[in-house]
């Protein structure tokens, strides 16, 4: 539990603390945790920020109770395509008994580590965007391209009532997005990880039918036997991909297909052989894999298990768009060049899971996943998620360089 001596758990301000850190901790205390996020409080918080910074604030309700909040800093040449700084407001659930401190108190220890759900994923980035723009506006800076900050709900449960719906709305089209930044991951080394593409999540439920009977007999052709064959085929593939990742040192998790058995169902009694059973699999497929051929392999595994074996998709994402990291690409050249000017070492990867960037790319806009957190363990869904305040403050400085650079990219050929 949180030590009693930390009075700031109640929201009291520390006069010695950087105001950006104080704001970050305030945002962390808003309990936007799934499955019942307090989105109303988050929206009110963002509306207050918009008022403080003199930014336009637009709210788009994409479905009941799911609001996209957009803060806009208009450029001097608003006809040019805009820069979109995206982040999500929801966070994943916690097991409070496994946390060192209250996960929604934003406790800061003597080393400056701030413990809270969302400290890495991704409320840090939201506030870093805001504080970078606060700094730039205070300096009287102006840029040709408009900058939008979007704060979206439900990313942690797939974004189906968030960004997936938003990119199809006229309000999104009106943003006239040219280039987007979204979340990435921490990196424990000195390097910053940059993500230019994502895996396609496939959630598959395999159903098998077989002969039922009494549990005392050797029933032929049972559902369990068929399901065993299916599971064996799937998990043998999993092991091959796991070994490939280990043996081919240049590969990252984003380069191989991950597969996990996540649910098993079936049976009605200890002494009854069931006529039906099922297994659910979470599969994440790199954009370099032929999806048609991969599904044919799934079909073959099920067919080989016997009669009465079928599968259905509960999620089947198929867009394999990737953002260019070629130096000839004007957006990447500016992004990477600005990072190089700050002596930042970048490592480009495919994101191993899935973020809202995939919807932005599918809508035809280049997007980079980037959270400026190096020298930090990856704890985004783990217990005791934390971010050090110095790493957080360095992130503001990084965005304070990236935003002007991206918002000043000269008109592209398509814009002339």
- Give the residue ranges of the annotated binding site for Zn(2+): 88, 121, 156, 183, 381
109 is catalytic: no
**Distance, CA of 315 to CA of 52 (rounded, Å):** 41
Catalytic residue among 90, 102, 131, 255: 90
How many CA atoms within 13 Å lie on the side-chain side of 182?
28
Known binding positions: 88, 121, 156, 183, 381
CA geometry: angle 142, 88, 165, nearest 5 deg:
100
Element (H, E) at 190: none
> Do 260 and 238 meet the contact criterion of CB atoms below 8 Å apart?
yes
14 is catalytic: no
Residues contacting 197, CB < 8 A, separation 6+ = 254, 286, 287, 320, 321, 322, 323, 350, 351, 361
Element (H, E) at 4: none
**Distance, CA of 181 to CA of 331 (rounded, Å):** 11
**Distance, CA of 157 to CA of 102 (rounded, Å):** 23
Catalytic residue among 102, 131, 154, 155: 155
Residue 245 structure tokens:
């990742």
**Distance, CA of 143 to CA of 405 (rounded, Å):** 9
Instruction: Say how many residues make up the chain.
Output: 416
How large is the angle between the packed helices 123-138 and 389-407, nearest 10 degrees?
60
Catalytically active residues, by annotation = 90, 155
């Amino acid at each position: 539990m949180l030590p009693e001596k930390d009075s700031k758990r109640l929201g009291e301000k520390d006069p010695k603390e950087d105001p950006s850190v104080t704001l970050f901790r305030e945002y962390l205390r808003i309990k936007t945790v799934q499955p019942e996020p307090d989105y109303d409080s988050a929206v009110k918080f963002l509306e207050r920020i918009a008022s403080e910074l003199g930014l336009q604030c637009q709210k788009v309700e994409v479905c009941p109770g799911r609001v996209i909040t957009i803060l806009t800093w208009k450029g001097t040449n608003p006809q040019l395509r805009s820069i979109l700084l995206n982040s999500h407001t929801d966070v994943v659930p916690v097991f409070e008994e496994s946390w060192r401190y209250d996960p929604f108190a934003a406790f800061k220890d003597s080393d400056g580590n701030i413990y809270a759900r969302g400290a890495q994923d991704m409320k840090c980035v939201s506030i870093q965007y805001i504080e970078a723009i606060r700094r730039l506006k205070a300096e009287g800076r102006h840029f040709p391209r408009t900058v939008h900050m979007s704060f979206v709900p439900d990313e942690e449960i797939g974004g189906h009532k968030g960004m997936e719906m938003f990119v199809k709305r006229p309000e999104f089209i009106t943003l006239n997005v040219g280039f987007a930044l979204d979340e990435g991951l921490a990196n424990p080394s000195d390097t910053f990880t940059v993500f230019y593409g994502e895996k396609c999540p496939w959630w598959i439920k395999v159903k098998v039918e077989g002969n039922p009977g009494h549990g005392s007999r050797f029933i032929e052709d049972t559902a369990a036997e068929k399901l065993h064959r299916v599971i064996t085929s799937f998990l043998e593939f999993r092991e091959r991909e796991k070994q490939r990742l280990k043996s081919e040192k240049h590969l990252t998790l984003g380069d191989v297909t991950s597969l996990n058995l996540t649910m098993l169902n079936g049976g009605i009694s200890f002494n009854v052989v069931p006529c039906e059973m099922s297994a659910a699999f979470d599969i994440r497929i790199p954009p370099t894999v032929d999806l048609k051929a991969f599904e044919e392999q799934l079909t073959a595994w099920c067919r080989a298990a016997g009669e009465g074996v079928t599968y259905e998709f509960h999620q089947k994402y198929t867009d394999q768009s990737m953002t260019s990291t070629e130096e000839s690409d004007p957006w990447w050249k500016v992004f990477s060049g600005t990072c190089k000017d700050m002596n930042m070492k970048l490592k480009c990867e495919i994101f191993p899971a899935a973020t809202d960037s995939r919807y932005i790319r599918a809508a035809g806009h280049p997007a980079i996943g980037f959270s400026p957190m190096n020298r930090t363990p990856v704890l985004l869904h783990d217990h005791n998620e934390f971010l050090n305040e110095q790493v957080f403050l360095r992130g503001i400085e990084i965005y304070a360089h990236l935003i002007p650079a991206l918002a000043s990219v000269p008109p592209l050929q398509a814009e002339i």
